[in-house]
């Protein structure tokens, strides 16, 4: 398994843990209020820590274990995998933004808007990282 693939696995686990906690812990009963919006924004602080700490620790661990792999530049196959994943993630991003416009027009504001934007990013990232991992396993 290449260094980048390992980092992708850590990112996937980090995304699922951090945002899994966020969506399960968010107080949905106050979502449509200013307090709901501030809560959503403040909850991003622990989410960032839960996501970043394992990423940095994992990257450092694997870089120390195999520095040669960590120094390698992306080759053509990895660039292709990178581009395909980003391309696939574009569609949920567009759908999420449209959904956000729809809920804003229909009176769901504050926490709902922030949470839907976060969900959009998370789904797009999960599709990007997940598809890249799939392509890494498949070959391309």
Partner 1 sequence: MPNSFAWGRSYIIIGVATNPMAQTPFTNDIRTLRFLAGEMTQGDLGDKVGVTRQTIAAIEQGRYSPSLEVAFRIAHVFGKPLEAVFQWTANAG
Q: Kindly state the smallest distance separating residue 88's Cβ from partner 1, in Å.
A: 16
Q: Which residues of 77-113 are buried (b: 16+ CB within 10 A; e: fewer)?
A: ebeebeebbeebbeebbeebeeebeeeeeeebbbbbb
Q: Is 131 in the site for partner 1 (CB under 8 A)?
A: no
Instruction: Supply the DSSP symbol for 29.
Output: G
Binding map of partner 1 across residues 77-106, x = CB under 8 A, - = no contact:
xx----------------------------
Tokens 């922030």 correspond to 114
Contact window for partner 1 (CB under 8 A) among 38-46, 57-65, 68-76, 86-94: 68-76
Residue ranges in 28-57 that form contacts with partner 1 under rule CB under 8 A? none
Q: What beta strand segments (E) does 1-140 contain?
A: none
Give Cβ neighbours of residue 66 (< 8 Å, ≥ 6 apart). 3
Q: From the CB of residue 136, how many other CB atoms can be counted at a distance below 10 Å?
A: 20
- Which C-beta is closer to partner 1: that of 70 or that of 126? 70
Q: Is 67 in the site for partner 1 (CB under 8 A)?
A: no
Q: Is 134 in the site for partner 1 (CB under 8 A)?
A: yes
Binding site for partner 1 (CB under 8 A): 1-2, 5, 69, 72, 75-78, 134, 136-140
């Amino acid at each position: 398994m290449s260094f980048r693939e390992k980092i992708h696995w850590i990112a996937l686990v980090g995304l699922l843990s951090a945002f899994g906690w966020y969506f399960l812990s968010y107080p949905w009963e106050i979502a449509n209020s200013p307090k709901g919006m501030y809560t959503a924004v403040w909850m991003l602080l622990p989410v960032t820590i839960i996501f970043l700490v394992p990423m940095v620790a994992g990257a450092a661990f694997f870089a120390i274990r195999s520095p040669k792999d960590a120094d390698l530049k992306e080759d053509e196959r990895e660039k292709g995998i990178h581009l395909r994943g980003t391309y696939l993630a574009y569609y949920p991003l567009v759908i999420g933004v449209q959904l956000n416009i729809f809920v804003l027009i229909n009176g769901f504001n504050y926490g709902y808007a922030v949470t839907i934007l976060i969900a959009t990013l998370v789904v797009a990232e999960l599709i990007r990282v997940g598809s890249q991992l799939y392509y890494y396993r498949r070959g391309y």
